[in-house]
Amino acid sequence: MSDIVKNLAMINQSISVAAYKSGRTQEDIQLIGVTKTVEPERIRQLVLEGVCNIGESRVQEFIPKYETFDESLMPKWHFIGHLQRNKVKFVVDKVTMIHSVDSLALAQEIDKRAEKSGLTMDVLVEINIASEGSKHGISPLQAIPFMEELARLRNIKTKGLMCIAPYVENPDDNRPYFEKMRNLLIDINTAHVHNHSLTELSMGMSGDYAVAIEEGATMVRIGTALVG
């Protein structure tokens, strides 16, 4: 497990530097360890090393992992992948946040299942910021009308936006997309769609998280650079 300790130290240093460049501190950035295909024992090591927010993207993989944890070491689970409506019932009472709301039908299903479970589900709206045909998400042009629809739902609380930027060799190539996400969040808040300010920007992965933080990310989703 020494690789996790070494990788985490390097990531924390990079987060601290990038946060400073954006006028913030490392404590302002939430590191989400992405653990797709990672066995539970390595996830436990992450939690013991202080990575308490864990991101999973496949329901069929997440549930068996979740069931191996007891309350003493239970992380805060984030669902970060594309979520089908018929799978919502399996995760809504187990995760802290759903990052990938990309349709009104999905939001309505989350709202319904959250109500049945007696809770309010924190969500992020996924934005297809580069208009890629292979990616899920709402068009930036539709973001404010979509947010107006979500504001009518009682058992979800929209906290901000999420994106998956294009794969690039040079992380700086994604800077314009991250800047666009930051400005979109400002526009939504200026429009006063919700009765609260949206504060979260989940953007940046192993290859570009430092640039994402410099441009305003509050959450970074790191898998390969952390756990291999």
State mean pLDDT over 152-169: 97
* HSE value, Cβ hemisphere, 13 Å, CA-based, for 160: 18
Instruction: Write down the pLDDT at residue 171.
Output: 97
d(CA 30, CA 72): 21
User: Is residue 139 over pLDDT 80?
Assistant: yes
Lowest mean pLDDT among 94-103, 155-164, 193-202: 193-202
State mean pLDDT over 67-93: 97
**pTM for this structure?**
0.96
Query: So what's the architecture of 2-227 in CATH?
Result: Alpha-Beta Barrel (3.20)
- Model confidence at 1, pLDDT cuts 50, 70, 90, reads low
Q: Which residues of 134-159 are buried (b: 16+ CB within 10 A; e: fewer)?
A: ebbbbebeebeebbeebeebebbbbb
User: Is residue 199 over pLDDT 70?
Assistant: yes
The whole-chain average pLDDT of the chain stands at 96
Instruction: Write down the pLDDT at residue 195.
Output: 84
- Model confidence at 2, pLDDT cuts 50, 70, 90, reads confident
